[in-house]
Amino acid sequence: MHAYTVLKPRAMREQEYQAYTGLLEGIGIDINDVPRTPEPSTKNRWLYVWSDRNRADRFARELRRRTDDRSWTIHEVDSPVEEHGPLAPLVIMAIESPEGTTFRVVAESQERVMRRFPNARLAGERFFSTARPADEVFFSTETRFDYERQHGPVWDQVAILLLGIPHDLIARLGGFRVVTPEGEILHEDFLDRPA
């Protein structure tokens, strides 16, 4: 049985991968549990696998059109794909300011959580301040420094507060990644990494 994926000749940048997974979701593919294969150019990404070359070709054409990038190609997967699972970690945006850091779950990740766990309570900042939206968590520089000095990095707590589900359920969705608005990865807890 043949299997195909769509990729770039080099490792995808974070923004390219978000376009890739965003288009998959846009055409109705739930990236929480899909047939997948490791991206050959990296050690930390999964790619969706099609059993039909024509569908892979249509996806590649649409990805080229949407990204205005002709380097997306179809690649035949060498071995039959038996691996299923989440394609990408949930994404949390970290926005730095002189006063501290605001953390926010990107909309696509919020939707993934609610699709899989409809009773999740996407909590957010209401625990810290009523002045900010309920889908954010803000840590002042001083509070974050004090917390990390006593307990270690703040990442897990931020993810649990924002996503409204415990760490083991976050792991079932592929873990989480904290990124800056520029796409720099500050932290990854991608528990389901390709081998």
pLDDT digits (tens, 9 = 90+) for 124-136: 433 343 444 456 7
Same domain, 76 and 98: no
Flag whether 194 is in a domain: no
Q: At which of 36, 55, 85 does a domain end?
A: 85
Domain match, 64 and 128 both:
no
Share of the chain above pLDDT 90, in %: 23
Instruction: Compute the average pLDDT of residues 16-24.
Output: 89
Measured between alpha carbons, how far is 106 from 168 in angstroms, rounded to an integer?
20
User: Residue for token digits 């703040």?
Assistant: 154
Tell me, yes or no, whether 94 and 180 share the same domain.
yes
Domain ends where: 40, 56, 85?
Answer: 85
Considering the domain architecture, whether residues 94 and 81 belong to the same structural domain is answered as: no
Other Cβ atoms closer than 10 A to 38 = 17
Question: Residue 14 to residues 57, 61, 64, 91, 140: CA-CA distances in angstroms?
Answer: 22, 20, 16, 11, 27
Query: Tens digit of pLDDT for each residue in 32-89?
Result: 889 998 888 777 788 999 989 999 999 999 999 999 999 999 999 876 566 788 888 8
- In a domain, residue 16? The reply is yes
Domain holding 106, by residue range, is 90-189
Residue 44 CB neighbours (<10 A): 15
Whole-prediction pTM value? Answer: 0.76
